[in-house]
A and B are shown apart, each in its own frame.
Chain A
């Protein structure tokens, strides 16, 4: 299948994560996160190394998305110590590592008024990536035929595919996926799996928050349950 062969060839060029055997991708030690008066995460201890794929399960409101956003350095802990890609997410170092983090939330980050190609061109321009990559990545995720369609008229599944094209283009070392298999057809589910394997093969790591235990368990090297903001 063309999709897989395209992915295979891109693995070769994927930059290997320059980490030593002892260095972790992310390290959380008794980390807590609070939103206003509400404690969302409590005493989270988690170590993610190169090649790790962590499956994160839990009911709605358990804290899965917050943990992903914490790992993405988008929110800061109020207690405990955290290291993401070798830097303290509360320090200025986070500005240097953010471009190495790929995050796909369960809500789309696409601009609805822009076409799929324009959305990816924005990413490419901002990152200094060759614009030819836009067409290539859209083709890999099966959206070449609808590249000029506005995101607002695309189905949720197509929007997810476009988000995966963004991840393909930016080649992150830490891949964070929130409900990655929702609203996807069979081909796109395979795409998620290939994205995760590609990241791991490049020396990176992935965290997948999901309710689809069976599917994620096949990909994950470790599965963790989160309940009431605590890893159990």
Chain B
């Protein structure tokens, strides 16, 4: 007897979100710290309104990327060997585990992005040019980061890499997402089409999803 693939994905995702709700790691630690990071920049460079307005959106995406990496890899240390054994012996499809964890991280990243976008508008007085694209870009960045972070967490759980190195592994690979997000709004502010950048982020996300699903089984066995 085994649940459907979709049920297994939902079960893993629900478990991760429930654990996160109880531990409050993202809500009470990472999120406030990200907001503080956004606050520190104006304090460091001074409250020069035109400068803050110019760098605001870029700062937002940099903070999302750096702190988003921490959110998406938080599961690296979240599971003990006995807990992993239980999941393996339940016969859950490793690809369902990968996608379930990704889905949970995606939900957390979307919450993180929404809250930080409000903080950014409030602190940096960012012009709202092209903001109708914001939900689309947030979803693409959130999906890309969660797919990437979950994949990296899977690689590290094989015990062949030090956990502390995960951010160093993930951050450079997340650069295409940062470039895609910032250039989308740069193009919009200059009156150009941003479609190419959006397509690039979609392609990055799809590639990560394919690699993650195809490598899920071998990563689970190496763990």
Binding site for B on A (CB under 8 A): 69, 72, 74, 95, 98-99, 101-103, 105, 107-111, 113-114, 118, 122-123, 125-129, 150, 166, 170
B192 at the interface (CB under 8 A from A): no
Min Cβ gap B76→A in Å is 16
Contact across chains for B7 and A101 when beta carbons are under 8 A apart: no
Which residue of B2, B15, B90 contacts A114 across the interface (Cβ within 8 Å)? B15
Contact residue among B7, B88, B91 (Cβ-Cβ distance under 8 Å from A125)? B7
What CA separation (Å) do A111 and B82 show in the bound complex?
A: 10
Residues of A within 8 A of B80 (CB): 107, 109
Total CB contacts across the A-B interface at under 8 A: 78
In the bound complex, residues from chain A placing their C-beta under 8 Å from that of B90 are: 98-99, 123, 126-127, 170
Extra 20 A-B pairs, beta carbons < 8 Å, given A74-B88, A126-B91: A95-B217, A98-B91, A99-B89, A102-B89, A105-B82, A105-B85, A109-B86, A110-B83, A114-B22, A118-B18, A122-B11, A122-B15, A123-B90, A125-B7, A126-B12, A126-B90, A127-B1, A128-B1, A150-B22, A166-B86
| Nearest chain A CB to B19 CB, angstrom units | 5
CB of A108 within 8 A of CB of B82, answer yes
Q: Contacts A99-B2, A109-B83, A111-B83 known; A126 to B92 CB distance under 8 Å? A: yes
User: Can you give 5 contacting A-B residue pairs, CB < 8 Å?
Assistant: A98-B91, A105-B82, A113-B22, A123-B86, A126-B90
Closest approach, in angstroms, between the C-beta of A8 and any C-beta of chain B?
22
Q: What is the bound-complex CA distance between A110 and B86, given in angstroms?
A: 9
